[in-house]
Amino acid sequence: SEAKGILDREGPEALARWVMEQKPLLVTDTTFRDAHQSLLATRVRTQDLLRVAEATAKGLPQLFSWEMWGGATFDVAMRFLKECPWERLARMREAAPNVLFQMLFRGANAVGYTNYPDNVITAFVREAARSGIDVFRIFDSLNWLPGMELAIDAVRREGKVAEAALCYTGDILDPKRDKYTLKYYVNLAKNLERAGANILGIKDMAGLLKPYAAEVLIRALKEEIGIPIHLHTHDTSGNGVAMLLKAAEAGVDIVDTAINSVSGLTSQPSMGAVVAALRFQERDTGIDLGAVDRLSHYWEVVRCYYEPFESGLRAPSTDVYYHEMPGGQFTNLRQQAEAVGLGTRWDEVVRAYRAVNDMFGDIVKVTPSSKVVGDLALFMVQNGWSPEDVITRGETVDFPQSVVEFFRGYIGQPPGGFPPELQKVVLKGKEPITCRPGELLEPFDFAAARRHLEEKFGRAFSDRDLLSYALYPQVFEEFVRHREEFGDVSVLDTPTFFYGLRLGEEITVDIEPGKTLMVQLTSVGELRPDGTRVVYFELNGTPREVTVRDESAQVLVQERRKANPAVPGEIGAT
Ligand code: PYR
């Protein structure tokens, strides 16, 4: 894209100037990150992203950027997909060298759920920048500036784009809500600009920004700040496209959308809808609607592979204005609720979520503060507790760890401070902090981590591995163990990875360039008393057998899972 060329040749300030000179509405595609984080519990595998990367780059050269890394993808790649997130980034970079790559960075929480030592934040930013990230959208889950400054500085030092984001919550048009007002946001935006932001992000993570409020907000910000504005929203209520159009009229520079078939609801608004709506208008995006539709057909099929991870939300829900749950949390919290046996009591979880926000004094809810609210909501429903119970009976229980950390000030300070009574009940005598948590944390000892891993696994580890370990020690070690036992499972096709092979089914697996295996499942032996079975298969035509533990209690989505998506531009390839 043109934007990538300008950044690489002239740097972030020049890119910001270029953005502000553009008449067309600039568009970011979130399909590779937030769309599936918000619709499919972040489960989309590298293979399915890679297959369509080149076609996306060729078909949609006008895009400003792809949001394709960060947020929950880092954790989920290792934890559930058994993939290395750094390998994903490297391979995407290879597949789309001329596209501006954007990641979501949670300030002092990096791509995790807790504050990390300063040296982890700076090392992570450096490695991500060197691995191909161009634009870092940095936010703090409580809109607390000290939680973002270190990351902003680190990004600037790497010569990349610091897109510092304010998180939008509440409703600036509601006269009864006086915490998150227009003045509050304008003030925050000015502070972010002063802190060194190249672009101002508006992170409307729950989709609470309504069309007429967007008009007011964007107009005011365009008057008050001198950097481009990049607007991110979620379409949970169904108001997303209307909101983006109002924002476009008010002069927003860049907006986030997703390819149609993975857009809408808890995801971003539909790219095709925005492109079509602005056609022949002043802010015509110049994006080829036909190309959007062709890419949409690809994602329509791929989405079926991930059916068990769908949220179940079938239609827009204005409930979001009540619970204010971020799109990226919605599907994940539902999965969490299922996991602890509250699947059928989702309604209660939602009400508790709202109640917790009120108890907390109305906070910004986005990772990780949203997780704190979600964890306490689940805790209350599990125990049958009302908000009063939390205060009156809270002394006798241990609250979820995330709740304790929040009230200790370990994820930052909320505007207006903590509610004192609840803080006392949760902390049980522990002292809260009011400084930046990073000031108290010992620097992470990378050398010791390397020694530990090398001793434990008897092999060398890269700097990237060490960062994965610094953020998620247990998840990373489990991922390494899994790779030792099963090899690199990212080479398997997605239906096989999630659902296994059916009897007689044959698949080809590209294990490395130029090396392909053909695997056919021939038969499966009886379940033996020790819980194992012998599995008979053919490997490149040669009969083989292997003894496996039976873990067959898997969700099967048989009918549609084998449909073959056409990749635009390479129709017929599989
Ligand atoms: C994330 O932090 O992952 C969000 O999408 C907010």
Q: Which atom of ligand 1 is nearest to the CA of 328?
A: 5
Torsion angle in degrees (nearest 10) through CA of 184, 187, 192, 196: 180
Distance in Å, CA 113 to ligand 1 centroid: 10
pLDDT of res. 530: 85
**135-152 residue pLDDT tens:** 999 999 999 999 999 999
- Is there an atom of ligand 1 within 6 Å of 367 CB? yes
Query: Which residues pair with residue 543 across a beta bridge?
Result: 538
Q: Which atom of ligand 1 is nearest to the CA of 71?
A: 3
Instruction: Count how many Cα atoms sit within 13 Å of the Cα of residue 208 in the half-sphere of its side chain.
Output: 24
Distance in Å, CA 165 to ligand 1 centroid: 12
- Is there an atom of ligand 1 within 6 Å of 304 CB? no
Shared domain check, 282 and 136 = yes
Shared domain check, 453 and 531 = no
Residue 468: alpha-carbon gap to chain centroid: 16
162-192 b/e (C-beta count within 10 Å ≥ 16 → b): bbbbbbbbbbbeeeeeeebbeebbbebbebb
pLDDT of res. 536: 95
- State the residue for tokens 């060329």: 5
Shared domain check, 132 and 34 = yes
Distance in Å, CA 132 to ligand 1 centroid: 20
pLDDT of res. 549: 83
- Rounded to whole angstroms, the Cα distance separating 20 from 22 reads 6
pLDDT band at 560 (very low <50, low <70, confident <90, very high): very low
Residue 58 lies in a domain: yes
- Is there an atom of ligand 1 within 6 Å of 72 CB? yes
104-113, 159-168, 517-526, 545-554: least confidently modelled range: 545-554
Residue 199 lies in a domain: yes
pLDDT of res. 202: 98
Distance in Å, CA 563 to ligand 1 centroid: 31
Residue 338 lies in a domain: no
Residue 27 lies in a domain: yes
pLDDT of res. 572: 31
Using DSSP's 3-state secondary structure scheme, residue 510 falls into strand
| Domain harbouring 482, CATH code | 1.10.10.2790
Ligand 1 mutation target, pool 67, 331, 332, 366, most atoms within 8 A of CB: 366
Q: Which atom of ligand 1 is nearest to the CA of 366?
A: 6
pLDDT surpasses 70 at 302: yes
Mean pLDDT across the stretch 316-340?
A: 88
Ligand 1 mutation target, pool 34, 102, 372, most atoms within 8 A of CB: 34
Residue 248 lies in a domain: yes
Ligand 1 mutation target, pool 205, 234, 325, 372, most atoms within 8 A of CB: 205
pLDDT surpasses 70 at 553: no
Containing structural domain, residue 457 = 445-486
Of the chain, the end-to-end C-alpha distance in Å amounts to 27
Residue 415, preceding bond cis, omega within 30 degrees? no
pLDDT of res. 564: 54
Distance in Å, CA 558 to ligand 1 centroid: 31
pLDDT of res. 573: 29
Mean pLDDT across the stretch 324-340?
A: 85
Choose the final residue of a domain: 289, 309, 329: 309
Q: Which atom of ligand 1 is nearest to the CA of 368?
A: 2
Torsion angle in degrees (nearest 10) through CA of 394, 341, 365, 409: 40
- Rounded to whole angstroms, the Cα distance separating 1 from 134 reads 12
Nearest CA to ligand 1 atom 3: 71
Query: Which residues pair with residue 200 across a beta bridge?
Result: 164, 229
Q: Which of 110, 48, 103 has the alpha carbon at shortest distance from 81?
A: 48
**503-525 residue pLDDT tens:** 999 999 998 888 999 999 999 99
Structure tokens at 61: 């050269």
Q: Which atom of ligand 1 is nearest to the CA of 106?
A: 2
Q: Which atom of ligand 1 is nearest to the CA of 203?
A: 6
- CA 453 vs CA 117, 122, 470: distances in Å: 20, 22, 11
pLDDT surpasses 90 at 200: yes
Shared domain check, 136 and 81 = yes
- Is there an atom of ligand 1 within 6 Å of 326 CB? yes
pLDDT of res. 558: 40
Distance in Å, CA 203 to ligand 1 centroid: 10
Ligand 1 mutation target, pool 37, 143, 169, most atoms within 8 A of CB: 37
In one letter, which amino acid is 266? Answer: T
Shared domain check, 215 and 115 = yes
Choose the final residue of a domain: 459, 486, 513: 486
Distance in Å, CA 64 to ligand 1 centroid: 20
**381-411 residue pLDDT tens:** 999 999 999 999 999 999 999 999 999 999 9
- CA 516 vs CA 63, 539, 567, 569: distances in Å: 35, 10, 21, 23
Structural contact between residues 284 and 310, judged by C-beta atoms closer than 8 angstroms = no
* Average pLDDT, rounded, for the chain: 94
Mean pLDDT across the stretch 291-300?
A: 98
Instruction: Count how many Cα atoms sit within 13 Å of the Cα of residue 213 in the half-sphere of its side chain.
Output: 21
User: What's the sign of the alpha-carbon dihedral 544, 545, 551, 556?
Assistant: positive
Mean pLDDT across the stretch 180-202?
A: 98
Residue 47 lies in a domain: yes
pLDDT of res. 552: 58
- CA 456 vs CA 462, 463, 474, 476: distances in Å: 15, 17, 13, 13
- Is there an atom of ligand 1 within 6 Å of 325 CB? no
pLDDT of res. 517: 93
pLDDT of res. 551: 67
Q: In what order do the strands lie in the sheet with 532-539?
A: 506-512, 515-524, 532-539, 542-549
Choose the final residue of a domain: 276, 309, 342: 309
Distance in Å, CA 512 to ligand 1 centroid: 33
- Is there an atom of ligand 1 within 6 Å of 70 CB? no
**443-484 residue pLDDT tens:** 999 999 999 999 999 999 999 999 999 999 999 999 999 999
Distance in Å, CA 459 to ligand 1 centroid: 33
Structure tokens at 313: 């939300």
- Is there an atom of ligand 1 within 6 Å of 201 CB? no
Q: Which of 142, 141, 124 has the alpha carbon at shortest distance from 133?
A: 124
Distance in Å, CA 328 to ligand 1 centroid: 6
Ligand 1 mutation target, pool 367, 370, 373, 411, most atoms within 8 A of CB: 367
Shared domain check, 532 and 466 = no
Torsion angle in degrees (nearest 10) through CA of 15, 16, 22, 23: 160
**69-96 residue pLDDT tens:** 999 999 999 999 999 999 999 999 999 9
- CA 214 vs CA 222, 230, 240: distances in Å: 12, 12, 11
- Is there an atom of ligand 1 within 6 Å of 112 CB? no
Shared domain check, 538 and 453 = no
In one letter, which amino acid is 463? Answer: D
| Domain harbouring 129, CATH code | 3.20.20.70
Distance in Å, CA 66 to ligand 1 centroid: 15
- Is there an atom of ligand 1 within 6 Å of 364 CB? no
Torsion angle in degrees (nearest 10) through CA of 236, 241, 243, 246: 180
- Rounded to whole angstroms, the Cα distance separating 229 from 286 reads 19
pLDDT of res. 559: 40
Residue 105 lies in a domain: yes
Structure tokens at 526: 């009886």
Secondary element (H or E) of residue 101:
strand 101-105
Share of the chain above pLDDT 90, in %: 88
Shared domain check, 459 and 537 = no
Shared domain check, 549 and 451 = no
Q: Which of 203, 12, 209, 208 has the alpha carbon at shortest distance from 106?
A: 203
Shared domain check, 517 and 462 = no
pLDDT of res. 554: 38
Shared domain check, 519 and 452 = no
**220-267 residue pLDDT tens:** 999 999 999 999 999 999 999 999 999 999 999 999 999 999 999 999
Radius of gyration of the chain (CA): 24
In one letter, which amino acid is 205? Answer: M
Shared domain check, 476 and 506 = no
What is the number of domains present in the chain? Answer: 3
Distance in Å, CA 283 to ligand 1 centroid: 29
pLDDT of res. 58: 98
pLDDT of res. 548: 87
In one letter, which amino acid is 262? Answer: V
pLDDT band at 126 (very low <50, low <70, confident <90, very high): very high
Residue 385 lies in a domain: no
